[in-house]
Amino acid sequence: MRWDEVIEAKAFKRDLLAVDCICLFLSGADGMGIELDEEMEGWTSLCEALPQRLPGCLPFHEWLWNVATPAFETNLRTIFARNPVTLATSTSRRS
C-alpha cells in the first residue's frame, strides 16, 4: 500500500491476557489494509513519521497515551482520515 492510498489510520490495543499490544491499522478505500504493532522493528520511527507521510495525522505523542491507557481496553482512536469530519469526531471524544 502506498502512502497516498491510505484513507484512514486507526490506533488501538489488543489484549494479550498478560500484556497489551499497541497496533495501527492503515486502510485503503476498499477497507482493506495493513496492521502493524509495537513489537515490529521500526515501530517508533514509523509512528513518529506518520504526520510527514499522512499530512493531518495526529503526532505519536498526542495519541499514544490515550491508546495505552487504561490497560486491557481497546481504546480505538482514528488518528488520520482523508475526511476531516471523521478525525474531528473521533478526537473530540478523547480525554
Omega before 84 within 30 of 0, i.e. cis: no
Q: Place 83 in a pLDDT band, splitting at 50, 70 and 90.
A: confident
Q: Place 87 in a pLDDT band, splitting at 50, 70 and 90.
A: very low
**pLDDT on residue 84:** 53
Measured from the Cβ of residue 70, the count of other Cβ atoms closer than 10 Å reads 8
| Beta strand extents in 1-95 (DSSP E only) | 8-15, 20-27, 33-37, 77-81
Number of domains in the chain: 1
User: 75's torsion region: left (phi>0), alpha (psi -120 to 50) or beta?
Assistant: left
pLDDT tens per residue across span 2-36: 999 999 999 999 999 889 999 999 999 999 999 99
Domain that holds residue 68: 3-91
For residue 8, which phi and psi values (nearest 5 degrees)?
-150, 145
Whether 94 has a pLDDT exceeding 70, the answer reads: no
pLDDT tens per residue across span 32-73: 999 999 999 999 999 999 999 999 999 999 999 999 999 989
Cβ-contact 24, 58 below 8 angstroms: no
Whether 88 has a pLDDT exceeding 60, the answer reads: no
Q: pTM for this one?
A: 0.83
53 burial level (CB within 10 Å; 0-12, 13-18, 19+):
middle
